[in-house]
Structure 1
Amino acid sequence: MHGDPTDLNNEGAPEPRWEWYRSFLHVAQAGSLSAAARALGLSQPTLGRHIDQLEATLGLRLFTRSPEGFAPTDAGQALLPYAATLATTAAALRRTASGARGGPDGGLRGAVRISASEVMGVEVLPPILAALQRMHPLLKLELVLSNQADDLLRREADIAVRMFRPVQQALLVRRVGAVELGLFAHADYLDARGTPLSVAQLGGHALVGYGQESDFIRGLRRQLPDFAWDRFVFRADSDLAQLAAIRAGLGIGVCQASLAARDARLMRLLPQQFAPRLDTWIAMHGDLRHSSGCQAVFDALADGLAQYLACQPG
């Protein structure tokens, strides 16, 4: 899509330029020409021409214009997922091309995009990635913090750390161990409120928990009926926010045992009654098996996470 805009596709219609789709995507996401222009480093008139040219070429009205900004029409909404896929593919092409060039000394270079949960991405992976980057200074690492499963098949990420086994056949997967979860509270909280000696006694304590339910949360409630939404004194869908609340002494919450082991003031509660384990996997698209950069990141994550998971009870 980088040819002349008058190039014709197989049906004889003009083929829109890729940059027009990129501009369309950014305007739809930002809601205005000015914000999208700043994000892309373009002028507003240039961005406006891109939108006008795309609409003229497609024969569709993609936005309704108003003083409040640009809102996608029904036709625009229908095109958005495809424009997002084009952007994702273009980014993957750039990462792959940058890695294929290799460094001046034959070392690893290029960019590798990693997807991981908030807690893994903030608390666990940075030391692993720092050690890898010291070994390969030209290697660039992109980290996406998300509790959602990024679609590796569509190359939204090159490598993903997941707490479940990916099932797509096109992926290369490796199990690196299991994360043990437990109930933890800060010592200051327990000094002030006492230590629960049974699951039933949790009902009398301040609990740190979720804002919205998930499959994992529903399973958790079956194990801990008193660990319920209406009992929480602090609610957050962010695992990092929950962890910060536990560390601050707000109450009792769920934490990774390996992570809690780093802080002597975080105390484990009821380990015999509550110690679920979540399998941890690393996944990579099969097409990247010949990418030396992706393979190096994949192996470093596997080794580093295996060491991290070894530092937990049992």
Structure 2
Amino acid sequence: MMKGDPPWDALRSFGEVMRDGSLSGAARRLGLTQPTIGRHIDALEAAFGVALFARSPRGLSATQAALDLAPHVAAMTLAAQAAQRAASGDAAQEHGVVRVTASHVIGCEVLPRILAGFSAAHPGVTLELALNDRNEDLARREADIAVRMVRPTQSALVARRLGRTMIGLFAHRDYLALRGTPQSIADLAGHSVIGFDRDDSAFRSVGASSQGLSRDAFRFRCDSDLGQIAALRAGLGIGGCQEGIARRTRDLAPVLPGAIRFGLEMWLAMHQDLKANRRVRLLYDWLAGGLTDYLRGRGDWGASAGR
């Protein structure tokens, strides 16, 4: 039973604790102290008459009451942010911050070239790039724009399918000169193949196991996609790489191009409430142009994405 109106500051702190999983993390994000966040949670629990978190030496664990409350607090946060933008006229401004999230590979290998062009054309916009191989929650405003390799399923998002990025096998020319170029999938057994260590999620997502590849075949194992690309460039063996990235590395040569090739969809998404935000829309359209050029194999992708 409700025992009083919960203060907004306490609800906001609750939302950050749910997002970060700790009082200290929420305190850092809000610029408050950990005891203040703790008092806010205590105030909420007193107002609602229920426990929101179970405390243990390992940290906080959300109760069912907290899980039920979280989406409502997230909606209130979005509404408050929208009201602030409307009151300040911020949505019409070209200056300010835009936060983009993407995977480590896209964020390190593809986006910087596109973002450099945007930054030169729109110097008033501050760019933030959050790299994470999990999907950031746009509904909770963890980012303004997301580049995703799967179709977004959250409601209230504006999403655009940009195309497919193709993944093939490549190797450094020095490696092939030393070890020879395989002529069939069976020939890979005599080569150093680069692949995953313990995390096979990306491997399964493209159906690579159906091509006769497995962990046992990998002579170099690394769960980081960036680590695998670095290994390719260093000549450690044969491995998978996005064709657009491989084309930019002169010393990488395709291996079995007709035998092993996978495709991943690329999507660009933002929250529907940001459609009228000028700086977010500018970057969204710029990214759409640059990434489409990348997927189509244009050599100058990113050079004039906003044209």
TM-score class normalised by the smaller sequence: 0.7 to 0.9
What is the aligned partner in structure 2 of residue 138 from structure 1? 124
Asked whether the equivalents of residues 112 and 142 of structure 1 are also in contact (C-alpha less than 8 Å), the reply is: yes
Asked whether the equivalents of residues 182 and 256 of structure 1 are also in contact (C-alpha less than 8 Å), the reply is: yes
Letter in 2 for 1:72: S
Aligned ranges for residues 108-187 of structure 1 at < 5 Å? 108-153=94-139, 155-166=141-152, 171-187=157-173
What is the aligned partner in structure 1 of residue 5 from structure 2? 15
- Say which is worse superposed, 41-50 or 78-87, in terms of deviation: 78-87
Q: Which residue, 101, 115, 119 being the options, matches 2:90?
A: 101
Q: Which residue, 34, 43, 54 being the options, matches 1:53?
A: 43
Q: Secondary structure at the match of 2:209?
A: helix
RMSD of the TM alignment (CA)? 3.6
TM-score, normalised with respect to structure 1: 0.77
Asked whether the equivalents of residues 203 and 231 of structure 1 are also in contact (C-alpha less than 8 Å), the reply is: yes
Q: Which residue, 276, 282, 299 being the options, matches 1:296?
A: 282
Q: Which residue, 194, 212, 216 being the options, matches 2:200?
A: 212
Partners of 1:277 and 1:54 in 2: how far apart?
48
Aligned ranges for residues 163-312 of structure 1 at < 5 Å? 163-166=149-152, 171-210=157-196, 211-213=199-201, 216-217=204-205, 219-222=207-210, 224-225=211-212, 227-311=213-297
Instruction: For structure 2, list consecutive stretches of 5 or more residues without a partner in the other structure.
Output: 300-307
What is the aligned partner in structure 1 of residue 303 from structure 2? none
What is the aligned partner in structure 2 of residue 71 from structure 1? 60
Instruction: For structure 1, list consecutive stretches of 5 or more residues without a partner in the other structure.
Output: 1-10
Q: 1:118 to 1:94 in 2, by over 3 A?
A: farther
Asked whether the equivalents of residues 12 and 77 of structure 2 are also in contact (C-alpha less than 8 Å), the reply is: no
Partners of 2:277 and 2:101 in 1: how far apart?
17
Partners of 2:77 and 2:215 in 1: how far apart?
37
Asked whether the equivalents of residues 88 and 155 of structure 1 are also in contact (C-alpha less than 8 Å), the reply is: no
1:205-253 CA distances to partner (integer Å, 9 max, x unpaired)?
Answer: 222223223585461221x20x212222333443222222222323211
Letter in 2 for 1:248: A
TM-score, normalised with respect to structure 2: 0.78
Q: Secondary structure at the match of 1:276?
A: strand
Q: 1:285 to 1:32 in 2, by over 3 A?
A: closer
Q: Report how many residues are paired.
A: 297
What is the aligned partner in structure 2 of residue 89 from structure 1? 78
Bigger RCO (CA 8 Å, 6+ sep): 2
Partners of 1:288 and 1:233 in 2: how far apart?
46
